[in-house]
Structure 1
Amino acid sequence: MDDPVADALLYWLISRVFGQRRTTQEEMPRRRTTTRRSHFRRLYARLRQHPDTFCNYCHISIAGFDILLSDLRPGLRSQDPAIRRSISPEERLIITLRFLATGKSFSALHYEFQLETSTIFRIVLQTCEVIWQRLKVEVMPQPDTKNWLDTADSFYGSEQFPNCLGALNATHIRVRKPPHSGSRYFHSRPYYWVVLLALVDSDFRFVTVDVAAYGSAAEARDFRATRMVEMMQPNQLALPGPKPLPGSSGPPAPYVMVAGEDFGLSPSLVCPFPGHDLDDKRKIFNYRLGQAVWYGECALGMLSRKWRVLQSSMQMSPDNAVKVIQACVLLHNFFRGQDTEGDNDLEPAMPSSDFLPQLNRCERRESAGAALRDLFADYFLSPEGAVDWQVDALQ
């Protein structure tokens, strides 16, 4: 065109159209991020305004959340830079707690938090790692001899079971089949599993845990395959030395862990007498043992009811599932006795006599563990070891 006014107008229109389009494309991600942040801020503000709703949403109280966030914040700040820049520590912790509390899929959480599923997956795993790194020493330290003695005193005070270092139990948790794994994680049901093995004290806290990535054998075989047994054999757990049973003038008895019918006898582990037609001595021993074993059953039940991801089929590899399970265990210990508002529906019920006969299926085997079991059984019939309530076993 020869008209300079027309040329200027055309140039202005072209720059206006294409410049606006370029600006819009550059601002779209920023606008999406701003919208998502506004969505979370509104959600977070509403939750904090209603304590009951917050507790139902995250399965912990607002006060418990604030304490946990304060402990984890330094670790959360050092995570993936891409996540750190765009997602606050509060949002990362809320997302992780929501996943652990409900077991929802990452796709479902994508709609809830307006984040990509891959981002949510990374947030959950990274936060679980921070929980393990920051809380392990505080809430589940490696026990020393003094810790073991304190646990034994507590068990004797609550259940009159002497020289007891804790109740051992295990649970199976479903996971996605690992690629090229064959039947390594295959259980009798059409799922793939890892096994959580836990030692529990008389306050339903986890003393130590091990997660075994095998689901093809019975719990007893899983137990023998775990690192805990390897540590028990050379006494790497700093177990205290033998001590006479309270009031007894007999030989010193070793400190032991108690377990149900799926575990085998060993010099550090006692299980029930097998069979159903038992004499009074064996009935009383099984009854007294059942009172102690019950703590392990209840602790695992409380754990899975609070963190329902353990009841779901985790859509992740066994290695990643281990990180999630470990985080749940530490959170259980962290809030045990502190965040009572979040545990109102998790208090255990006392065991009934219907629970105890289930402990009579342990395999017979001659070993030092059998002699140890007889030692405790005789003690429970002696004037020094008998208690009034043990006669319930005979009714």
Structure 2
Amino acid sequence: MKRCKLQPSVWERKAAQRPEWRRLIHDRVTDFETERRRHTAKSTGSAAETAAKSKRLKYSALEATYDFVPVAVETAGPWGREARELFRELGKRLREKGSDPRSESWLVQQAYTREREAERLRERIVSHGFRVLFAYVAASEWFLATGNTFRDMEFTEYRGRSTIGKIVREVCQAIWKSLLGKGIPSITKNLLEQIADEFFKNTNFPNCIGALDADEGLPLTNNIMRPYPGKHLTIQQRVFNYRLSRARRYVECTFGILANKWRIFHRPLNVQYNFATDIIKACGVIHNFVISRDGIKPSEELLIHDGFSDLHHSTNYISSTNPVNIRNEFCKYFSSDVGALTWQLSKI
């Protein structure tokens, strides 16, 4: 039987590796796709035929130079038509070479046996991999949800602190990549208008799309409002400060709900800056995903209460003319008949 060239030159590797004729291309499909399941439901072996057509299309450039035969075998057992014809031809040649009428059946049986053994090995590897992956995810979620340190988990996970830290960081990065599209929507004009409408309904603060904590540490800009500084303020300015503080409370409530669910934020993170960023991003995106699916459940353990604390003011700030005018317009609006609240004077 003439020796065949098993691998085209387009896949040739370094000369130091095995001789070319001993290498074999192995490009397999590991699972049934949905479309192939539908084909299998129609007739036996249809999934293998679909996979064979896909492989022939993928390697169509080889047919001009090589005799390419896709060998497709379903997990359930059936072989593709071209695979059956190939092994019949090989069995025929073996039979002619050795005069053994059982050569064809023996060849097919050996190939099928090796495929079953390989499939069972793959199943064991995949099963073990899923168990390890589940353990990694569970350990990471336990770290984020309980706030335990790596030293605490060292005794429960039977792994070193550095190993646990590496696992948690890899899982956090995977969570961010997997849930980014579901947990954080793309910013559009319609989304921002919807956020502004909802924010106004809840806070009575117009044209606002969000709140930042520690607003006295931020500069006054066209897009960021901060309180009037000083103690000797007019009633209108004190009303503005109250309304701004009332709107800002929502970010504190948001962080309280977040920290109540992910108690890693009850303590200093005690990790490097990039690692801390991965933790914050993962908790934020998975928190949004859970809320979008299950909604917000009331809890008595929120970190902040619903009351209003005393307003604190800073005397140091830098502003420009335009931001000052914007703040003054808000100040006038909150004391006007249109924008005033009935109880606001009792809160200043």
Q: TM-score, normalised by structure 1?
A: 0.51
Which residue, out of 302, 313, 316, partners 1:346?
302
1:317 is aligned to 2:272: yes
1:253-309 Cα distance to aligned partner (Å, 9 max, x none): xxxxxxx21111111111111111211110111111111011112222333343232
Question: Does the Cα contact within 8 Å between 1:132 and 1:326 map onto a contact in 2?
Answer: yes
1:171-217 Cα distance to aligned partner (Å, 9 max, x none): xxxxxxxxxxxxxxxxxxxxxxxxxxxxxxxxxxxxxxxxxxxxxxx
Are the structure 2 counterparts of residues 374 and 339 from structure 1 closer, same or farther at C-alpha, using a change threshold of 3 Å?
A: closer
Letter of the aligned partner of 1:331 in structure 2?
I
Aligned equivalents of 2:197 and 2:338: distance in 1? 16
Are the structure 2 counterparts of residues 315 and 388 from structure 1 closer, same or farther at C-alpha, using a change threshold of 3 Å?
A: closer
Question: Does the Cα contact within 8 Å between 2:269 and 2:276 map onto a contact in 1?
Answer: yes
1:28-72 Cα distance to aligned partner (Å, 9 max, x none): xxxxxxxxxxxxxxxxxxxxxxxxxxxxxxxxxxxxxxxxxxxxx
Which residue, out of 231, 240, 257, partners 1:285?
240
Tell me how far 1:372 sits from its aligned partner: 0.3
1:370 is aligned to 2:324: yes
Structure ID, larger Rg: 2
Number of aligned positions between the proteins: 223
Question: Does the Cα contact within 8 Å between 1:128 and 1:327 map onto a contact in 2?
Answer: yes
Aligned equivalents of 1:342 and 1:85: distance in 2? 37
Tell me how far 1:87 sits from its aligned partner: 4.1
Which residue, out of 163, 178, 186, partners 1:134?
178
Are the structure 2 counterparts of residues 343 and 138 from structure 1 closer, same or farther at C-alpha, using a change threshold of 3 Å?
A: farther
Aligned equivalents of 2:316 and 2:261: distance in 1? 30
Letter of the aligned partner of 2:245 in structure 1?
G
Aligned equivalents of 1:84 and 1:315: distance in 2? 32
1:99 is aligned to 2:143: yes
Question: What is the correspondence of 1:76-95 to structure 2 with a 5 Å cutoff?
Answer: 85=129, 87-95=131-139
Tell me how far 1:360 sits from its aligned partner: 5.2
* Secondary structure class of the residue paired with 1:115: coil
Aligned equivalents of 1:120 and 1:363: distance in 2? 44
Question: What is the correspondence of 1:323-338 to structure 2 with a 5 Å cutoff?
Answer: 323-336=278-291, 338=294
* Secondary structure class of the residue paired with 1:269: coil
Which residue, out of 140, 143, 154, partners 1:110?
154
Question: What is the correspondence of 1:19-168 to structure 2 with a 5 Å cutoff?
Answer: 85=129, 87-168=131-212
* Secondary structure class of the residue paired with 2:312: helix
Question: Does the Cα contact within 8 Å between 1:102 and 1:307 map onto a contact in 2?
Answer: yes
Aligned equivalents of 2:128 and 2:314: distance in 1? 54
Identity between Structure 1 and Structure 2 (%): 29
Are the structure 2 counterparts of residues 111 and 149 from structure 1 closer, same or farther at C-alpha, using a change threshold of 3 Å?
A: same
Instruction: Select the structure that is richer in helix.
Output: 2
How well do the aligned residues superpose, as a CA RMSD in angstroms? 2.7
Aligned equivalents of 1:155 and 1:286: distance in 2? 17
Residue 251 of structure 2 corresponds to 296
Aligned equivalents of 2:158 and 2:194: distance in 1? 48
Tell me how far 1:149 sits from its aligned partner: 0.5
Question: Does the Cα contact within 8 Å between 1:304 and 1:311 map onto a contact in 2?
Answer: yes
Are the structure 2 counterparts of residues 339 and 99 from structure 1 closer, same or farther at C-alpha, using a change threshold of 3 Å?
A: farther
Q: TM-score, normalised by structure 2?
A: 0.58
Residue 216 of structure 2 corresponds to 261
Question: Does the Cα contact within 8 Å between 2:175 and 2:282 map onto a contact in 1?
Answer: yes
Aligned equivalents of 1:94 and 1:344: distance in 2? 26
Letter of the aligned partner of 2:257 in structure 1?
M
Are the structure 2 counterparts of residues 333 and 361 from structure 1 closer, same or farther at C-alpha, using a change threshold of 3 Å?
A: farther
Tell me how far 1:93 sits from its aligned partner: 2.0
Letter of the aligned partner of 1:376 in structure 2?
F
Are the structure 2 counterparts of residues 314 and 82 from structure 1 closer, same or farther at C-alpha, using a change threshold of 3 Å?
A: farther
Question: Does the Cα contact within 8 Å between 1:274 and 1:361 map onto a contact in 2?
Answer: yes
Aligned equivalents of 1:83 and 1:129: distance in 2? 23
Aligned equivalents of 2:273 and 2:129: distance in 1? 29
Aligned equivalents of 1:84 and 1:340: distance in 2? 36
Aligned equivalents of 2:322 and 2:259: distance in 1? 35
* Secondary structure class of the residue paired with 1:164: coil
Aligned equivalents of 2:138 and 2:158: distance in 1? 13
Residue 6 of structure 1 corresponds to none
Letter of the aligned partner of 1:392 in structure 2?
S
Letter of the aligned partner of 1:156 in structure 2?
F
Question: Does the Cα contact within 8 Å between 1:302 and 1:348 map onto a contact in 2?
Answer: no
Aligned equivalents of 2:175 and 2:162: distance in 1? 20
